[in-house]
Structure formats: C-alpha cells, structure tokens
C-alpha cells in the first residue's frame, strides 16, 4: 500500500493528497503545526505536543479541528497505515478555506493535515563528531512562541547555514544573545558545568524536547539555568548542543568555524542524549 496522508477527514495516497488553493495556510501562512517524534512505533510526548498545538491555535483564535481523543485516533490510524516505527508525525491546522481576505472569515472550518515520515536513526558519525552552527541576526516576529507555519526567516537562515557548510543556524537577538536554532533549541554547558538554555518566552519556541530534557536533567541532579547566553559565552563554553523532535540531543562542536570546548562532543551532552533516548524509546515517553 502506498504511504497515506490524512486530509480533512480522508486518508489518501500521499502523492495525491492536496489542499484547496484558497486554504489560508497557503495564502497567509494562517496556521500552526506540530512535529511529534515517533520512537519504537509510538509517539513521544504526545500530550505535550497536543497541549502546545492547542495553545498555538488559541493564540491565533483558531478552533481545535477535532477533540484531542479524535486527534489521537487519527494519528494512531495514520501511523498504523504507514507502518511507522521510527520518524515523526506532522500535523498542520490552518484557519481553513475562504476567499482571500486578510480578516478572519466568518464561516471557515479549521483544516487538518497529517503526514508521517520514516527516518533512519542519527548516524553514529554525526553523533561522534557533532554538528556545526553559524550565527545570524534573528529577523523573526515577536511571537516565536507560536508554532506558526510562517517559517520564512527560519528557511532563509537554514539555507545560509547549508550554504556555509553548517548544519544549523543559531539566531541572535539585538543584545547579542542567542535565541534558538532555525528548528531547534540552543544549549551550552559552561566551564563550571552549568547547563544553560534560554528561558521560554515570546522570543523562542518552547520545545517539547527542551521541556522534557529539563525535567530529565533535574531528575539526574544536573544543575541548569534558564537564561539567555551570548555567542561569546557559547564560544567559551565547555559543551554545546541542540534539541528538537527530529534531533533529540545533538552535540554542537563548532560555532562560526571556531571549536566549542575541545572540539569534540561533550560528556554531559552524551549523557543527556542517552537519558533522553532512553526516555523517548521507553514506556515513560510514550505514555
């Protein structure tokens, strides 16, 4: 059976699945999304992702397209149809279809699309070497806490990273402090072994991996601080890494061409990755 997608009530072959040309997601980026990791055949932190979906929609005054229970049923059914064991589930909700007009339409119904992607585990080489990042000015809007499908600055920054031979771009605010990556949260481990990641407010997306990792770090007795850090501080740090649903915990070993610490993935990073992997693939993360 070819891979399927869910589009507004129907399961369709992925290649034939389509939305209306007047979907406001297409016209205005008037919608939000979630990327939920799938490990060992189960969704990781599904409830936290649905909480964030509900919050993002609420901030935009878009109704949930269906109940949480129904969303879970559709996700499970799509994963079953696609025999998804490892990868992610993508969910997108837009304000729906209406003649193009900036103001909210009166009668539009939220549109829901779900797709899945099977992925390979992260390559051992990537984990052993770590990845490289460049830094760029953060040119995004002031509501980065909403997981909006409006991702143009992120797309442009990611392409600049790729063009520079890097894996990710860290965006930097007007005070010289790192906000986050184009699709990841940014972390450092200081010389005195403090784990640091920016506090969650309107300047960043509060990553679900970030939330779970902070909880796991606390359980492990790892001290952390939620505060902004500068590019200079990151360059003086012992370790750096990024987190996301697609990267889990990924070591960063170079920033703007300069090595972080000794230029190799750090010990705490490796420990936190192992702890997170255990959580994501175990019963706790899939509860």
Question: Binding to ligand PDD (CB under 6 A): which residues in 244-263?
Answer: 244-246
Q: Does 150 bind ligand PDD (CB under 6 A)?
A: no
Task: Confirm whether 147 is a catalytic residue.
Answer: yes
Q: Report how far apart, in Å, the C-alpha atoms of 163 and of each of 46, 76, 91 are.
A: 34, 38, 29
Which of helix, strand or coil describes residue 224? strand
Cβ proximity to ligand PDD: between 56 and 183 the closer is 183
Cβ proximity to ligand PDD: between 87 and 105 the closer is 87
* Cα(213)–Cα(192) distance, integer angstroms: 20
* Cα(218)–Cα(286) distance, integer angstroms: 20
* Cα(184)–Cα(252) distance, integer angstroms: 12
Total residues at interface with ligand PDD (CB under 6 A):
15
Q: Does 183 bind ligand PDD (CB under 6 A)?
A: yes
Q: Does 210 bind ligand PDD (CB under 6 A)?
A: yes
Q: Which residue, among 60, 249, 69, 17, has the nearest Cα to 149 in the 3D structure?
A: 60
Closest separation in Å from C-beta 1 to ligand PDD: 26
Q: Does 205 bind ligand PDD (CB under 6 A)?
A: yes
Closest residue to ligand PDD: CB criterion: 207
From the list 72, 103, 120, 147, the catalytic residue is: 147
Cβ proximity to ligand PDD: between 116 and 244 the closer is 244
End-to-end Cα spacing for the chain = 29
Residue partners of 62: CB distance under 8 A and separation at least 6:
30, 31, 32, 93, 94, 95, 110
Residue range at the interface with ligand PDD (CB under 6 A); choices 24-32, 117-125, 181-189, 229-237: 181-189
Cβ proximity to ligand PDD: between 146 and 231 the closer is 146
CB of 201 within 8 A of CB of 227?
no
Q: Does 111 bind ligand PDD (CB under 6 A)?
A: no
The footprint of ligand PDD (CB under 6 A) covers 35, 154, 180, 183-185, 205, 207-210, 243-246
């Amino acid at each position: 059976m070819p891979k399927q997608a869910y589009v507004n009530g129907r399961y369709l072959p992925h290649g034939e699945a389509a939305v209306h040309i007047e979907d406001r997601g297409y016209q205005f980026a008037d919608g939000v999304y979630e990327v939920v990791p799938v490990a060992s055949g189960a969704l990781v932190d599904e409830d936290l992702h649905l909480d964030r979906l509900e919050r993002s929609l609420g901030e935009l005054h878009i109704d949930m397209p269906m109940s949480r229970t129904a969303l879970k049923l559709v996700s499970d059914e799509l994963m079953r149809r696609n025999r998804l064991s490892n990868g992610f589930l993508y969910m997108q909700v837009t304000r729906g279809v209406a003649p193009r007009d900036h103001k909210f339409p009166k009668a539009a119904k939220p549109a829901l699309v779900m797709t899945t992607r099977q992925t390979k585990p992260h390559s051992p080489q990537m984990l052993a070497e770590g990845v490289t990042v460049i830094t760029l000015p953060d040119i995004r809007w002031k509501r980065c806490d909403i997981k909006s499908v409006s991702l143009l600055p992120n797309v442009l920054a990611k392409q600049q990273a790729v063009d520079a031979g890097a894996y990710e771009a860290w965006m930097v605010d007007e005070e010289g402090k790192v906000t986050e990556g184009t699709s990841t949260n940014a972390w450092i481990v200081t010389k005195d072994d403090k784990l640091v990641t920016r506090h969650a407010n309107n300047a960043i997306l509060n990553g679900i991996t970030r939330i779970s990792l902070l909880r796991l770090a606390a359980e492990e007795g790892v001290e952390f601080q939620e505060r902004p850090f500068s590019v200079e501080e990151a360059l003086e740090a012992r370790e750096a890494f990024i987190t996301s649903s697609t990267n889990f915990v990924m070591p960063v070993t170079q920033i703007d061409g300069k090595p972080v610490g000794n230029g190799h993935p750090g010990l705490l990073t490796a420990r936190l990755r192992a702890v997170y992997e255990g959580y994501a693939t175990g019963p706790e993360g899939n509860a």
